[in-house]
């Protein structure tokens, strides 16, 4: 039957008959967000989403001027920074928003971990989140090389060297990443294609699944808040929580605008593959803990190459993190399980400590 309620205008009714706005309205109204001591952490997923949308928008604007070749990439960015109106601002927002997005995503990940939001029926929400983590880090890694400056060039040379230590498939993987034996214009073209076409396409699909699952299952409450007898409070997602989400986005925008305006992205010197690597080459901060671990490992340990040991260790931690919903069965059964909190807190402490060492230890060590 046609909805004749006076609260909807003619346009709404016209669209409803064609695309079923009522169903969407029902979905939006049905969702409720639990209100408790830890509700605050729910804002970080939305903030990650906002920063991702900022990346897509500024990335498209950058594409209007960027040229993906070793001969022109650096110059095209230089032109954008000096000649194009607000080009420096768009580039700075893209660079800062990438960093903020990864930072906020880590907060989102660890809050989901410590609140045990991965328990049934949210295992697939967690797995799709794990895929988004890998994809976002891949965005950071491929984007870093695109300005073709000295720092990015040598950091990429070091970064793409690492998979080479894996037995059997290592050298194949290194060549696949680089598009040859060394980092060259072919690597740049490859990274560009991955950064602007492959990753966005995959992220759209995985993110769509992630958000669909969040919508389907609603937000979880941490185990402490689910105890019998505790009064359960909730607020409608739309418009109550959504408007609060917007305040979170506005805060993120404020931080982003201040960082981009006061600390514009730098360009440095153009990459010269024939020059020796400058001392103290550093990756982006989110790879620093891994980079520093590899630096501190001895060259051989129990007859195994130190770097290989490091790479195997990273793989193991990654697998533990991603498959946590299937490892922590006790929490699913409603029993106390200390492993997730111990694992999460150790991981945060390790990442912070090694990142700190990475920035403070002498580069020759
Ligand atoms: C591009 C990156 C990501 C985006 C845009 C994103 C977005 C979101 C949004 C909007 C929500 C609902 C609000 C909230 O819980 O904060 C959510 C929930 C969730 N996300 Fe993510 N997320 C991302 C990455 C991740 C990662 C890396 C993980 C963990 C491996 C993860 C795991 C979860 C889980 C388990 C929930 C459900 C939380 C609950 O029910 O309490 N997400 N995500």
DSSP label of 270: B
Decide: helix, strand or coil at residue 233: strand
Angle in degrees, CA 52, 54, 57, rounded to 5? 115
Ligand 1 centre distance from Cα of residue 44 (Å): 8
Residue 330 has pLDDT above 50, yes or no: yes
According to the model, what pLDDT value does residue 229 have? 67
The pLDDT score that the predictor gives to residue 125 is 98
Helix (H, G, I), strand (E, B) or coil at 355: helix
Q: Which atom of ligand 1 is nearest to the CA of 45?
A: 16
With a cut of 50, say whether residue 197 has pLDDT above it: yes
Helix boundaries (H) for 148-284 = 150-161, 170-178, 185-193, 199-217, 242-262
Residues with CB under 6 A from ligand 1: 42, 44-46, 48-49, 52, 105, 108-109, 112, 117-118, 122, 125-126, 129-130, 132-133, 136, 207, 210, 214, 219-220
Entry pTM: 0.93
Residue-wise pLDDT tens digits, 55-80: 999 999 999 999 999 999 999 999 99
CA-CA distance, 213 to 123, in Å (whole number)?
Answer: 10
Three-point CA angle 363, 364, 365, nearest 5°: 90
Report CA(256)–ligand 1 centroid distance (Å). Answer: 21
Closest CA to 321 of 112, 147, 166: 112
Q: How far apart are the CA of 248 and the centre of ligand 1, in A?
A: 15
- Rounded to whole angstroms, the maximal C-alpha distance in the chain is 78
Q: Give the separation between CA 175 and CA 163, rounded to whole angstroms.
A: 10
CA–CA separation, 133 and 322 (whole Å): 10
Per-residue tokens: 364: 């020759």
Ligand 1 atom showing the smallest separation from residue 118 Cα = 35
Model confidence at 4, pLDDT cuts 50, 70, 90, reads low
Which residues, other chains included, contact 359 with Cβ-Cβ below 8 Å and sequence gap of 6+? 282, 288
Which residue lies with its CA nearest to atom 31 of ligand 1?
A: 129
pLDDT grade for 1, boundaries at 50, 70 and 90: very low
Tokens of residue 286, six digits: 């989110």
The answer to whether 135 and 55 are in contact (CB under 8 A) is: no
Residue nearest to atom 22 of ligand 1 (CA): 45
- CA of 108 from ligand 1 middle (Å) equals 6
CA of 276 to the centre of ligand 1 (A): 42
| Residue 53 structure tokens | 């949308």
Kindly report the protein residue whose alpha carbon is nearest to atom 42 of ligand 1: 129
Q: Which residues pair with 35 in a beta bridge?
A: 233
- The bridge status of strand 233-236 relative to strand 32-35 is antiparallel
Residues 260, 93 contacting (CB under 8 angstroms): yes
Beta bridge partners of 209: none
Q: What is the DSSP string of 285-344?
A: HHHHHHHHHHHHS-SEETTEEHHHHHHHHHHHHHHHHHTHHHH-HHHHTT----HHHHHH
Instruction: Answer whether residue 223 shows pLDDT above 70.
Output: yes
Position 15 pLDDT exceeds 70 = yes
**What is the length of the chain?**
365
Ligand 1 geometric centre to CA of 206 (Å): 11
Phi first, then psi: give them for residue 45, nearest 5 degrees: -65, -45
């Amino acid at each position: 039957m046609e909805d004749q309620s006076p609260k909807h205008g003619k346009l709404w009714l016209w669209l409803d008959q064609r695309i079923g706005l009522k169903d969407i309205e029902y979905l939006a109204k049905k969702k409720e967000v639990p209100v408790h001591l830890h509700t605050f952490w729910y804002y970080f997923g939305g903030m990650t989403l906002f920063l991702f949308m900022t990346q897509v928008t500024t990335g498209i604007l950058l594409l209007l001027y960027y040229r993906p070749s070793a001969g022109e990439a650096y110059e095209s960015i230089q032109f954008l920074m000096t000649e194009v109106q607000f080009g420096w601002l768009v580039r700075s927002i893209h660079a800062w928003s990438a960093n903020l997005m990864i930072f906020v995503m880590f907060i989102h990940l660890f809050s989901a971990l410590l609140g045990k939001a991965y328990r049934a029926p949210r295992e697939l929400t967690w797995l799709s989140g794990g895929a988004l983590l890998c994809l976002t880090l891949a965005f950071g890694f491929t984007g870093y090389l695109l300005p073709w400056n000295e720092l990015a060039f040598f950091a990429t040379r070091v970064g793409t060297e690492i998979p080479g230590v894996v037995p059997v498939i290592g050298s194949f993987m290194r060549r696949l990443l680089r598009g040859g034996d060394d980092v060259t214009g072919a690597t740049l073209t490859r990274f560009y294609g991955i950064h602007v076409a492959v990753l966005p396409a995959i992220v759209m699909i995985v993110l769509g699944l992630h958000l669909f699952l969040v919508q389907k299952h609603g937000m979880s409450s941490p185990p402490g808040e689910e105890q019998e007898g505790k009064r359960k409070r909730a607020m409608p997602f739309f418009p109550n929580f959504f408007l609060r989400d917007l305040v979170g986005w506005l805060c993120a925008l404020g931080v982003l605008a201040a960082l981009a305006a006061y600390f514009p992205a730098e360009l440095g010197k153009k990459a010269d593959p024939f020059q020796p690597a400058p001392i103290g080459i550093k990756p982006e901060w989110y790879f620093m803990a891994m980079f520093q671990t590899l630096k501190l490992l001895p060259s051989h340990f129990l007859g195994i190459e130190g770097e290989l040991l490091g790479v195997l260790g990273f793989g193991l931690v990654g697998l533990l993190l991603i498959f946590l919903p299937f490892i922590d069965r006790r929490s699913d059964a409603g029993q106390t399980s200390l492993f997730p909190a111990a694992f999460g807190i150790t991981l945060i402490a390790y990442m912070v400590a090694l990142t700190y060492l990475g920035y403070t230890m002498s580069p020759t060590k």
